């Protein structure tokens, strides 16, 4: 943004926030961002109470060099998510050039991401360029050993990444609800832990595939931290996975597994990490993630390339004051990062290439 303003251009910002139900909702208005942007950009920021229409056209036509116009939430119009070309044309009519600097949304085929760049001369923003450069270096021709640390929930988004790294990487370390499903796939009782039964068979296939020569090995925790409730006062136990029973729930990985993971990380030359390994919202269940963060930072200090990303991963670092500058690169993407490192072509990047 600063580069455009310093170059004498005027800037129109289009973005979304939240998940409004395809209509205006004051809770998700962009207007409160005006003073924030003025402070950051050190210039006047105008606001259009609609992202299209006469008011937006008039405001954009009257913009002076160095001025900024912020459009109202794109998701207030249902045509944004539908990639409606009539809507894209209305957005494109406001500007002369298009710059995409929203890596976090590049995996969505929305009008602002793929429709508008089909209608205007289009370019990659500086932040987006950094994302693509760093993630490409870590996935296309990485220095081995390559270690993927992947956790969280939603097997549907994580399985393609694990599959991709079986042939690209050397070791896959799993935590969180992902690990719970793999533990269940190994035939162990997971008590009342959150896991996805429909993915158990697929996990079994992946573990067998990982044992083949030339394939990355999937490392499933051998011991875990269990409790009967998620709270800071919960009584917790570190147990081998074969001892889980009854109303126990897994909230973190155990000490033995942590040490195994740390030893693998210490040998890595390329590390990609997405997702805390336990329920780190509670300090009581954040131990594994803290130890892994320290191990990844130490490897990075010793010369390894370490890229981390995902909202929960960054939230962990902020919550417990773990420095983000300890890593080679911190991706702003969650779903976009997962799809990129999983080998998928992101719709918005494909639109820019065209």
Looking at 127, 145, 175, the residue that finishes a domain is 127
Helix (H, G, I), strand (E, B) or coil at 3: helix
Kindly state whether residue 354 falls inside one of the protein's structural domains.
no
Same domain, yes or no: 198 and 306 = yes
11-25, 179-193, 339-353: range with lowest mean pLDDT:
11-25
Same domain, yes or no: 138 and 256 = yes
- Residue 154 zone, left/alpha/beta (φ > 0; ψ -120 to 50; rest): left
158 sits in which H/E element? helix 155-168
Rg, C-alpha atoms of the chain: 23
pLDDT in tens, 259-295: 999 999 999 999 999 999 999 999 999 999 999 999 9
Contact 265, 295 (CB under 8 A): yes
Same domain, yes or no: 29 and 65 = yes
Please count the structural domains in the chain.
2
Same domain, yes or no: 248 and 111 = no
Mean pLDDT on 246-252: 95
Q: Residue 187 sits in which domain range? A: 134-341
Same domain, yes or no: 74 and 191 = no
Same domain, yes or no: 102 and 188 = no
Kindly state whether residue 207 falls inside one of the protein's structural domains.
yes
3-state SS, 33-98, equals HHHHHHHHHCCCEEEECCCCCHHHHHHHHCCCCCCEEEECCHHHCCCCCCCCHHHHHHHHCCCCCE
Same domain, yes or no: 200 and 248 = yes
Looking at 127, 142, 173, the residue that finishes a domain is 127
Looking at 84, 106, 127, the residue that finishes a domain is 127
Same domain, yes or no: 233 and 198 = yes
Looking at every residue in the chain, the average pLDDT score rounds to: 93
Hey, which residues does 173 pair with through a beta bridge? 149, 219
Helix (H, G, I), strand (E, B) or coil at 273: strand
Mean pLDDT is highest, among 50-64, 152-166, 247-261, for 247-261
CATH of the domain at 167: 3.40.50.1260
């Amino acid at each position: 943004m600063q580069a455009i303003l310093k170059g004498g251009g005027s800037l129109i910002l289009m973005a979304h926030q939240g998940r409004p139900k395809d209509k205006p909702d004051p809770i998700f208005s962009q207007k409160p961002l005006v003073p924030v942007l003025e402070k950051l950009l050190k210039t006047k920021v105008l606001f259009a109470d609609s992202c299209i229409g006469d008011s937006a056209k008039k405001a954009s036509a009257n913009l002076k060099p160095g001025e900024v116009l912020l459009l109202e939430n794109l998701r207030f119009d249902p045509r944004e998510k539908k990639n409606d070309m009539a809507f894209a044309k209305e957005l494109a009519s406001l500007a002369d050039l298009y710059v995409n600097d929203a890596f976090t949304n590049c995996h969505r085929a929305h009008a602002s991401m793929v429709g508008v760049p089909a209608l205007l001369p289009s370019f990659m923003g500086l932040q987006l360029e950094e994302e693509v450069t760093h993630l490409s270096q870590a996935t296309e021709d990485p220095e081995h050993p390559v270690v993927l640390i992947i956790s969280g929930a939603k097997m549907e988004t994580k399985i393609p990444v694990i599959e991709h790294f079986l042939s690209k990487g050397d070791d896959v370390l799993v935590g969180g609800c992902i690990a719970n499903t793999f533990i269940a796939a190994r035939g162990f009782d997971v008590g009342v832990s959150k896991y996805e039964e429909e993915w158990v068979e697929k996990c079994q296939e992946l573990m067998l595939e990982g044992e083949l020569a030339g394939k990355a090995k999937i490392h499933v925790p051998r011991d875990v931290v269990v409790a009967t409730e998620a709270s800071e006062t919960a009584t917790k136990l570190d147990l081998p996975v074969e001892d889980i029973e009854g109303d126990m729930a897994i909230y973190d990985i155990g000490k033995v597994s942590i040490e195994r993971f740390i030893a693998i990380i210490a040998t890595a030359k390329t590390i990609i990490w997405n997702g805390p390994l336990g329920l780190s919202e509670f300090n009581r269940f954040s131990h594994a993630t803290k130890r892994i963060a320290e191990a990844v930072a130490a490897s990075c200090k010793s010369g390894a390339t370490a890229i981390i990303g995902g909202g929960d991963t960054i939230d962990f670092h902020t919550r417990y004051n773990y420095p983000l500058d300890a890593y080679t690169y911190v991706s702003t993407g969650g779903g976009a990062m997962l799809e990129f490192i999983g080998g998928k072509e992101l719709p918005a990047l494909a639109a820019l290439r065209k």
